[in-house]
Amino acid sequence: MDSRALQPDNPFAMLAIVGEQGACKTTIGRALRMCVDPVGRDGRGLLCIPRDVDTLITQARNRHVLAWDNVSFLSPWLSDAMSATATGVGHAKRQLYTDGDEAITYVKAPVILTGIPDFVTRGDLADRAIVVTASPMPEEKRRRERDLWADFERVWPSVLGGLLDAVSCAIRRLPNVEGPYPRMADFAAWVVAAEPACWWEPGAFLEAYADNRRNTVAAIVDAMPLAPLVLALPCTDGVWEGTASKLHYELSGMADKERMSQDWWPKDATRLAGELRRLAPALRAERSLAVTFSRANGVRTIRVQRIAAHRNPGEDEPR
């Protein structure tokens, strides 16, 4: 991620560091951020999750790397905002002391998140994320922060030099790097171009990246409460087809009252269709269940079909 953070013209990937308490997630996040963005009086400090879009935009304007600590849950608006920030987004609001003028701020930044649970639970964010699980730190290997950061300061110039070597390698090789690539193709191409400087075998990154995305997609399916109902939907010859209203009626008949009383339950057919669109890539990649949408003669139809082979996450999705 760090070498990629030094090339700001293309979309960034988001790094999510998860693990149990005591796995040094915060320290890892601080060190990674310090490598390329030692901003502020204490460059090792991480931020709290923003409460609104304005705070998020302000943080992004004043830092190169957005690093948030102790994330337990990402609300839908924040997950969408982070996805947009990683690939670039404009934020418009009324300019102060005017009635009609508009102030537009464009932000794009690498994002680091640390937390205990698997908080990447929406497909659009997962397509932009690399999720790393930190291993627990044995008690006998723990050190005082003063000693740890003193050692970090000594090796920091060498680390930065290595990252700059990777940047140089990527710039030199990027015009000759060919696909095919998954979603976040520009990010993937940049890292592939930098592989020789990282002492990686050709193709090692794309293989690891695909494995990481598969694991993330599996976690998304497990985290989506609607997924078990869709997977249990009765299909004739492996296919269910009908309107969103019909599907909402059938799923409601399969769900118990407690499930339907939860905030996440889609209250109408329109909301159900929206949730299915978000869930469809994960179901197709992880559970071989294709959900497609069509419109003919003014009628919108949803088709749920069981397919034989797994696809890679993001395959056949528009970039």
Q: 180 and 265 share a domain? A: no
Looking at the fold, whether 18 and 78 belong to one and the same domain comes out as: yes
- Looking up tokens 């799923």 gives 251
What's at 205, amino acid-wise?
F
With H, G, I as helix, E, B as strand and everything else as coil, classify residue 194.
helix
**Pair (19, 118) in one structural domain:** yes
Cα–Cα nearest to 276, from 295, 300, 254, 302? 302
Asked if 74 contacts 82 with a C-beta cutoff of 8 angstroms, the reply is yes
Residue 318 lies in a domain: no
Flag whether 317 is in a domain.
Answer: no
Q: What is the pTM of this model?
A: 0.75
- Select from 220, 255, 285 the last residue of a domain: 220
Query: 116-119 long-range contacts, Cβ below 8 Å, gap at least 24?
Result: 116/18, 116/19, 116/20, 116/21, 116/72, 117/18, 117/72, 117/73, 118/18, 118/219, 118/223, 119/16, 119/18, 119/71, 119/72, 119/73, 119/74
What's the domain range around 207? Answer: 2-220
* Residue where one domain finishes, among candidates 167, 188, 220: 220
pLDDT one-digit tens code per residue, 253-287: 888 777 777 777 888 888 888 888 888 888 887 77
Same domain, 152 and 238: no
- Considering only CA atoms, which of 77, 315, 68 is closest in space to residue 210? 315
Question: What pLDDT shows up at residue 60?
Answer: 84
Q: Which of 41-50, 148-157, 158-167 has the lowest mean pLDDT?
A: 41-50
In a domain, 311, yes or no: no
Residues 113 and 243 occupy one common structural domain: no
Q: What is the CATH number of the domain that holds 85?
A: 3.40.50
Number of separate domains in the chain? 2
Q: 238 and 179, same structural domain?
A: no
Gap between the Cα atoms of 221 and 287, Å rounded:
9
Judge whether 90 lies within some domain.
yes
